[in-house]
A and B are shown apart, each in its own frame.
Chain A
Amino acid sequence: TQLLEQSPQFLSIQEGENLTVYCNSSSVFSSLQWYRQEPGEGPVLLVTVVTGGEVKKLKRLTFQFGDARKDSSLHITAAQPGDTGLYLCAGPNAGGTSYGKLTFGQGTILTVHP
């Protein structure tokens, strides 16, 4: 079974601070996805990283996929209250009967105080 360990579980910071969320596994993933979920909503896909070493930027968010494709990180620069939410990393399970299934990390609850 492929597992994704996400850390930290909780982050409470002030507006303007930087933060990094980590997503680690002992397994290789063909890709990793990052989702953000706000209260009362479903998870929204932020990015998919596919290539080892890949870096993707989405405004103040920077996503990195490890060279060995076993880990990923999400860095937020100058966090704003609108960044508050639950951040989830997810990766597709290996093929066979697991085709199409996603493994999710435990999630990081981020609170940005004004």
Chain B
Amino acid sequence: SAVISQKPSRDICQRGTSLTIQCQVDSQVTMMFWYRQQPGQSLTLIATANQGSEATYESGFVIDKFPISRPNLTFSTLTVSNMSPEDSSIYLCSVEGRQGPETQYFGPGTRLLVL
């Protein structure tokens, strides 16, 4: 399985500011995914980020609020823009497994608290 790291692991931010979360993988992958998770709850997909194309956003998530970069096959960033307390959550990146995106491997997550 891939080894995935995320930075920062946690942060406390003021409302109105922006935070960029980094996701680094130890191998080249085509598909990367960004999720949001409330503690103790399930995961909600924000967007799919494929290298060489624009990110595809799920219903309820827009590029202006969550801009994503995917500059190469091992790295992606998610920015949470103009934050409000409602953005407090855990943000996770995942990558497709060797057998394809039906199996995904997750990073450790970024715990964000917006005051």
Contact = CB atoms under 8 A, between A and B. Distances in A.
B41 interface: yes
Tell me whether chain B's interface is mostly helix, strand or loop, or mixed. strand
B42 A107 contact: yes
Interface residues of B, number: 27
A86 B37 CA distance: 12
30 contacts: A30-B102, A31-B103, A33-B102, A35-B106, A40-B108, A40-B109, A41-B109, A42-B92, A42-B106, A42-B107, A42-B108, A42-B109, A45-B1, A45-B97, A45-B103, A45-B104, A45-B105, A48-B102, A48-B103, A88-B42, A90-B104, A99-B101, A101-B33, A102-B33, A102-B45, A102-B102, A104-B43, A105-B42, A106-B42, A107-B40
Interface of B: 1, 4, 31, 33, 40-43, 45, 48, 56, 92, 94, 96-97, 99-109, 111
